[in-house]
Structure 1
Amino acid sequence: MTETGRLRLARCVVDDGWPLARAAERFQVAVGTAKRWADRYRAHGEAGMVDRSSRPRTSPRRTPTRTERRIIKVRVLRRWGPARIAGFLGLVVSTVHRVLTRYGVARLRALDRATGRVIRRYERAAPGELVHVDVKKLGNIPDGGGHKIHGRAVGTRYSQRTSSTQRRDGKPVLGYGYLHNAVDDHSRLAYSEILADETKDTAAAFWGRAAAWFRAQGITDIQRVLTDNGPCYRSHAWRAAVAATASRHLRTRAYRPQTNGKVERFNRILLDEWAYAEAYTSETARRAALPGFLHWYNHHRHHTSISGPPTHRIPNLSGQNN
């Protein structure tokens, strides 16, 4: 029953003199329930109609306060999860988890690993206010497949050669590819290219193409570009490329990759859902799968933080449902 219903029932019994059986039948409750609310109304008036705590007056089996303090201390100093804390203190995992929940301790994924402080998350209000840019180094797959197909004993011998050039027919050879990625902060819309290196000229040319692609998607005004402190992003070539798009260049604080976290998360998505999602037989096959993955990522992949795919946050984007 709601508080209003309880009050009406109690007034019928106490103020109007209804028998308990009649009031219980009228409000479709048990006679004992009608008596309880009538007694509370006599004792406390309208204030007695609210719910009371069902917590027991004493909890003799509750975890001692001293043990709770030890749990919190270990969590703060060592940043361990409930299982490790329970093993260290000789407790049950569910007990440790219950204590951490009771005291409102932040989850480990919400903490900075270096300092233990809660990460302050942010999101720009509109597309184009901030674009995150980063480079991810990725080993090329030899023709015929690497260790995922042949096993470590055979596959690792290919890694001894580290040329990052390309053959005349345009096919990649052994060595490394460099994923240059740009992610819009508000929408998570992403643009990516696999290039031969991460030099200043390569990075500057990539930004020019990325900015043009974002404009084609409806993000015409890119206000800020955020990168780490890599050499290519501290060059005059990069500075000129950013200035050409009328954007302001920002750099993260040293040893703080969390500031550029959205593109770092995109790097991990690329590895998990494209680069290592299947056992490719060649680097050419893996690179051929990248455009399709990027389309799926931008147009169809559901992002928990934005409750949908990135294109849903880009107004008037043509073809976003394709």
Structure 2
Amino acid sequence: MQDQKIVLVRRAGYDWGSTVRGNTGEAYLTKITFLVIPEAAARIGALQSGQVDAIAYPSSNNISEVSSSSNVFTAASAGVVYTLYPNVTNPLLAQLPVRQAIQRSIDRQEIKKVTLDATGTAATSIVSHTFPSYTNLSSQLTDSSKAVTSILTKAGWAKGSDGIWAKDGTRLSVDLQYSSPNYEQLFELIQQQLKANGIELTLKQLTAAQVTANQASGNWGLTYGNLTRPDPDVFLSSFTATYSNFITKDVDPALVKLIDDQSAEADSAERSADSKKIQKLIVSDGLGFPIEEATSVIATKKTVHGVRFTAPWWAIFGAAWIEK
């Protein structure tokens, strides 16, 4: 029934599933009913009262409560993490030192501590740790006021009386446009972190239609998003002007060449090497400010076992079973 439920029935004789799901034979469960329950609190209530056996995406505010009485299965999405994308056609964000200063102004460990629950993971690269050819770039993603000062001073910026960097009469002030209120706490924390480093961030909550229209016209500074895909071609979709919704101008020819080369490379080892170089360039160029890994969360009754996930992050129930 549309907007109410979906019923899946086990297919008799289906015994050729991927080993990833933990069961290559027929599914253990004969039927699964997916109920549409939009509100997180209502989903949690349904689980705790025994009305349902499992829920997806329990509220992060209640994850500790849920964990004490439930099984919690999690998986990091293999792909580009949740990232602040800069508009490289914006006069300020077109400047490499500005992007590099923003990169080093974000304290991802504080973000983990303040805004993420026990299932959340701070970004340590532009891709998640489950991504093929992931390379740990956490040393380049640590906040450093000293690094910010050095970068901007060398580029001719100076702090004004209000504590904000300025150059040729222009203050270092950018905006972040978003539509979902779910990110307000996160964005306000990042705003504080940037301000502590002399960078002004203006938060603009708009409708989804307004955000889309502004992105199409180039009238934006930063925006937030991620892309799930466990393959290096995710860089083609996210960080080249030809395909990306956010990077509308190629600013680093070396990066574009690497992305194109890996897309055409047949040798897996060479492709992996290119992928690692791409990750480093995106971070060092400040073409993406990685914040947190996307995580899929399924909470179940204690009697439910065997929930697994695909590489992107979708739950698999072919090996799931209920303890009687």
Structure showing the higher helix proportion among its residues: 1
Structure showing the higher strand proportion among its residues: 2
TM-score by length of 1: 0.21
TM-score by length of 2: 0.21
Larger Rg: 1
